[in-house]
Amino acid sequence: MDDEREAQDAYSNAVSGAAERVGPAVVRIDAHESASRAGRKRSGGQGSGVIFDSSGRVLTNEHVVRKARSLTVTLPDGRSFPAAVEGADASVDLAVLRVPDTGHSLPVAELSNAKMRVGQLVVAVGNPFGLNSTVTAGVISALGRELPVSRSVKLTDLIQTDVPINPGNSGGPLVDAKGRVVGITTAVMPFARGLGFAVPTKTVTATLARLMVKRSTEGGMLGVSVMTYPLERTVARERKLPLNSGALLLKVFPGSPASDASLRSQDVIVSIDGDPIGDVADISRALKKVDPSQGLEIGFLRGSRLGKTKVVLSE
């Protein structure tokens, strides 16, 4: 009897410990499809995500954010931030979100590429049916599974688990007994019990590498890595900006024209030579019209302050 109690306690401690380690970094994601005339956001659904970078990067499923016009990320401690999609890949059902720089004060989960075994204890933390910070536990049932999710997309090399996964869990972490993320929960087979699936971390890290290469080429001649980013409505209104979004600078490369013009990471470009910039594509279109030998004027937000700088492009 004592041995049985000890075994039960060991299991409970493992589940509790894993949940406590990853829990602070697990977020709720609210996807808003549109805004009403009163300015209120209409919800398009909820999902989960996990912060993996203290600069504000969040992993989730691509299907959680696919149709969203705007996104909100809420932490377990109650803090809430607007978010934008930094990159996404529907073929593996993964997306990376970015929230504003918070001084590297965000809790971060550890990603693990350690080898997994069938029968291994795993824990999921997420927000099923809007019930925040829900913990469920089970085992890895199988590895290398395939799952068709649409006529054109089949997810491969998935982790199969008996951990309960419900609507709202999508995008949350599947962690090992040490609280390390081994997968991102993605789907449950309809009408089946005890059949959940997660994208393994090795697929996550490969996807992150591909997305990073893509971002580094989007800034073109400016020498920046960028993404489309929603602006706070009050800031856009106070600064009399015609658009409610801009191009967030994720990275400004040293020695680049943007760096020479004193632009910084987390600045948001809102205009180029007087033309409004609402997304990454607007930057590409604006730069195609520019003579590289001539300078151009960039309008940007740094926090809520509107500034301008002259950029001389490399020929």
Q: Could you tell me if 259 and 232 lie in one domain?
A: yes
The domain boundary, picked from 162, 193, 214, lies at: 214
Q: What is the pLDDT of residues 213-239, one digit of tens each?
A: 555 545 557 888 787 788 878 888 888
Decide: 204 and 94 in contact? Cβ < 8 Å: yes
Domain of 246 in residue numbering reads as 219-312
pLDDT tens, 198-214?
999 999 998 888 777 55
Instruction: Give the DSSP per-residue string, 258-281.
Output: HHHTT--TT-EEEEETTEE--SHH
pTM, whole model, 2 decimals? Answer: 0.72
Out of 30, 32, 48, 93, the active site residue is 93
Mean pLDDT on 93-110: 86
Cα separation, 197 vs 167, in Å, equals 13
Q: Are strands 94-98 and 295-302 parallel, antiparallel or unpaired?
A: unpaired
197 in Cβ contact with 186 (< 8 Å): yes
Q: Answer whether residue 175 shows pLDDT above 80.
A: yes
In this predicted structure, the answer to whether residue 42 has a pLDDT above a threshold of 70 is no
Tell me, yes or no, if 32 is annotated catalytic.
no
Q: Look up the CATH number of the domain holding residue 111.
A: 2.40.10.120
Indicate whether 253 and 205 sit together in one domain.
no
CATH number for the domain that contains residue 305: 2.30.42.10
Indicate if 80 belongs to the active site.
Answer: no
| Catalytic-labelled residue, pool 48, 70, 170, 245 | 170
> For residues 184, 189, 195 and 199, what is the CA-based torsion angle, rounded to 10 degrees?
-20
In three-state secondary structure terms, 131 is coil
Whether 92 and 155 have beta carbons less than 8 Å apart is answered as yes
Mean confidence (pLDDT) of the chain? 85
Q: Whole-angstrom Cα distance, residue 17 to residue 237?
A: 46
- Above pLDDT 90, what percent of the chain? 43
Per-residue pLDDT tens for 143-170?
999 988 888 888 999 999 999 888 888 9
Q: Are residues 264 and 291 in the same domain?
A: yes
Which position among 32, 63, 141, 271 bears the catalytic label?
Answer: 63
Identify the domain boundary among 214, 236, 263: 214
77 counts as catalytic = no
Integer-rounded Cα radius of gyration of the chain: 22
